[in-house]
């Protein structure tokens, strides 16, 4: 008998037929004699709808009340899923995050899980129930309801799997697994049988939105092996786990395109120690996430100056611009230019550690396609370039062909 944690995302529970389908699937595992814990998201669109309602009242609602509000989305789904299991004659009990013993810090709307006391979950399982837990939510020591950040049901599932020492953790979603590239861009993209935590982290950070980043980091930290697979068919999915030696035989695991970045260029920053520090400190204080940074060679006459370009998430562009305008007098730079028409293309693979010439080949492929590179950044297992957004998909197709066939 195995203990399995299964997570179903918003699309997988998007209407009552889909919820009945989830119940059937859970029933099959249970019929094998497995114990099943089910984590569900809110039905697709529900969380967004609730946020919209609050915004109709005020632009800046209280974060505590937002948690109170958003937690209701998952609470609907756990009850409906339990009802669907009952209809199949399967004993099932739904639990809120708090009832499942998920304790978080008090940072409303992006709380971190501090610990999980799975006593109640174990007790209900031992009594023969399927246990259905609301994803994305927990409670503080003081009993306040919290949520874990958008997409947080993934984290609930991974953390529960760790706390329960589950034999298997399955993330059911609306895609068949992790692909070598977005199949909508590259029709010949292949589903991967396995991918390393670090590769998935880089791919997800580079725009391939398969799972919440924090949940993958958590899985890596606690060694939770999980499978990403579709709830709409029975195909095996992608196993996500610690890197193995044989994974290095493949140079590149995947190619991704991030269309959600914008570029800012600060012209004429005095070339003196501390100027860049001030700019990026202030952006950090504003909770603006900076991804790539490039500084030009020093230019100018008696007062040497440089241009500094960097990228931020598109929704943060205006905020970043405002921070810079406030700093202009203090630092004494010229103008600030912005560009929303950029795309970040990345190739990712642990094989880069043991293969040379990968960057050269990437740049050659782009050159052959007459694609100009604006910025470059690398990590041990990733090379990213910023290019013109209009050429993003062409770049992905060419790189996929060159590296992945
Ligand atoms: N319902 C939440 C959201 O839409 C959590 C989740 O789906 O994982 O972000
Ligand atoms: Mg979701």
- Render pLDDT for 242-282 as a digit per residue (tens, 0 to 9): 998 889 888 899 999 999 999 999 999 999 999 999 999 99
User: With contact defined as beta carbons under 8 Å apart, do 270 and 303 qualify?
Assistant: yes
Per-residue model confidence (pLDDT) at position 210: 80
153 C-alpha to ligand 2 centroid (Å): 7
Starting at the edge strand that comes first in sequence, how are the strands of the sheet with 137-139 ordered? 113-116, 102-104, 137-139, 145-147
pLDDT value of position 198: 95
**Domain residue spans in the chain?**
3-174, 261-339, 342-404
Q: At residue 287, does pLDDT exceed 90?
A: no
The CATH class, in words, for 3-174 is alpha beta
Q: Is it the case that residue 221 has pLDDT exceeding 70?
A: yes
Q: Taking the domain 261-339, which CATH number applies? A: 3.30.70.260
For the beta carbon of residue 49, count every other beta carbon within 10 angstroms.
Answer: 12
The answer, yes or no, to whether residue 299 has pLDDT greater than 90, is no
Q: What is the largest CA-CA distance in the chain?
A: 83
- pLDDT of 206 higher than 80: no
What pLDDT band is residue 401 in, cutting at 50, 70 and 90? very high
Q: Are 292 and 384 in contact (CB under 8 A)?
A: yes
Report the nearest atom of ligand 1 relative to the CA of 73: 1
pLDDT for res 197 = 96
In whole angstroms, what separates CA 149 from the centre of its chain?
11
**Span 337-372, pLDDT tens digits:** 999 999 999 999 999 999 999 999 999 999 999 999
Q: Provide the percentage of residues in the chain whose pLDDT is more than 90.
A: 87
Distance of CA 20 to CAs 26, 82, 227, 243, 352, Å?
A: 10, 10, 22, 37, 44
pLDDT above 70 coverage of the chain, percent: 100
Pocket around ligand 1 at a 6 A CB cut-off: 10, 41-42, 47, 73, 135-136, 150-153
| Three-state secondary structure call for residue 299 | strand
Mean pLDDT of the chain: 94
The stretch 134-152 carries a mean pLDDT of 97
Mutate to test the pocket of ligand 1, among 97, 151, 209 (most ligand atoms within 8 A of CB): 151
Rounded to the nearest whole angstrom, what is the distance from the C-alpha of residue 171 to the centroid of ligand 1? 13
The closest-lying atom of ligand 1 relative to the alpha carbon of residue 148 is: 5
Residue 110 Cα, ligand 2 centroid: separation in angstroms? 15
In terms of CATH, what superfamily is 342-404?
VC0802-like (3.30.2130.10)
Task: List the one residue out of 110, 103, 171 whose CA is nearest residue 138.
Answer: 103
Nearest-CA residue for ligand 1 atom 5 is 151
pLDDT at 163 over 80: yes
The predicted-structure confidence for 105-132, as pLDDT tens digits, reads as follows 999 999 999 999 999 999 999 999 999 9
Residue 150: per-residue pLDDT: 93
Give the model's pLDDT for residue 300: 77
- From 42, 49, 69, 72, the mutation candidate for ligand 1 (largest count of ligand atoms within 8 A of CB) is 42
Place of tokens 């595992």: 29
Confidence (pLDDT) at 207: 66
How open is the CA angle 383-387-388, to the nearest 5 degrees? 160
Is the confidence at residue 50, as pLDDT, over 70? yes
Q: What is the mean pLDDT of residues 366-387?
A: 95
**Nearest-ligand number for the alpha carbon of 157:** 1
Q: Which of 173, 13, 148 is nearest to 77 (CA)?
A: 13
Which strands form 375-379's sheet, in the order they lie side by side?
254-258, 342-348, 382-388, 375-379
pLDDT digits (tens, 9 = 90+) for 81-90: 999 999 999 9
pTM: 0.88
Structure tokens at 316: 């943060």
Cα-atom radius of gyration of the chain, to the nearest Å?
24
Q: Would the pLDDT of 205 be above 80?
A: no
Q: Output the DSSP codes for 60-104.
A: S--HHHHHHHHHHHHHHHHHHHHHHHHHTT--EEEE-TTTTTEEE
Q: Are 4 and 170 in contact (CB under 8 A)?
A: yes
The DSSP 8-state label assigned to residue 165 in this structure reads: T
Q: Over range 191-198, report the average pLDDT.
A: 95
Are the beta carbons of 134 and 40 closer than 8 angstroms? Answer: yes
């Amino acid at each position: 008998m195995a203990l399995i944690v299964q997570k179903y995302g918003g699309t997988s529970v998007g209407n009552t037929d889909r919820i009945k389908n989830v119940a059937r699937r859970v029933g099959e595992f249970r019929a094998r004699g497995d114990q099943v814990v089910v984590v569900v998201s809110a039905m697709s669109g529900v969380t967004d709808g609730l946020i919209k309602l609050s915004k109709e009242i005020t632009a800046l609602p209280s974060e505590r009340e937002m948690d109170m509000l958003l937690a209701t989305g998952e609470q609907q789904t756990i009850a409906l899923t339990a009802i669907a299991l009952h209809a199949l004659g399967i004993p099932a009990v739904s639990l809120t995050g708090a009832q499942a013993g998920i304790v978080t810090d008090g940072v409303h709307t992006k709380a971190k899980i501090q610990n999980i006391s799975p006593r109640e979950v174990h007790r209900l399982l031992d009594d023969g129930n399927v246990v259905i837990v609301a994803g994305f939510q927990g409670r503080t020591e003081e009993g306040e309801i919290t949520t874990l950040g958008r997409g947080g049901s993934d984290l609930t599932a991974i953390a529960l799997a760790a706390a329960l020492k589950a034999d298997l953790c399955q993330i059911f979603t609306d895609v068949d697994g992790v692909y070598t590239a977005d199949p909508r861009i590259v029709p010949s993209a292949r589903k991967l049988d396995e991918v390393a935590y670090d590769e998935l982290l880089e791919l997800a950070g580079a725009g391939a939105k398969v799972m919440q980043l924090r949940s993958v980091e958590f899985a890596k930290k606690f060694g939770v092996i999980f499978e990403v697979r579709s709830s709409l068919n029975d195909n095996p999915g992608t196993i996500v786990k610690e890197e193995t030696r044989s994974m290095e035989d493949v140079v590149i695991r995947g190619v991704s395109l991030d269309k959600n970045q914008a570029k800012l260029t600060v012209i004429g920053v005095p070339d003196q120690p501390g100027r860049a520090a001030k700019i990026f400190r202030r952006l950090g204080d504003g909770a603006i996430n900076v991804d790539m940074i490039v500084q030009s060679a020093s230019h100018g006459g008696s007062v040497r100056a440089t241009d500094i370009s960097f990228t931020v998430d598109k929704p943060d562009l205006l905020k970043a611009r405002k921070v810079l305008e406030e700093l202009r007098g203090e630092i004494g730079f010229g103008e600030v230019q912005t560009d929303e028409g950029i795309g970040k293309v990345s190739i990712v693979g642990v094989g880069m550690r043991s293969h040379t010439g990968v960057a050269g080949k990437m740049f050659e492929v782009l050159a052959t396609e007459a694609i100009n590179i604006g910025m470059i950044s690398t990590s041990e297992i990733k090379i990213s370039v910023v290019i013109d957004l209009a050429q993003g998909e062409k770049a992905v197709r060419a790189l996929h062909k060159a590296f992945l066939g």
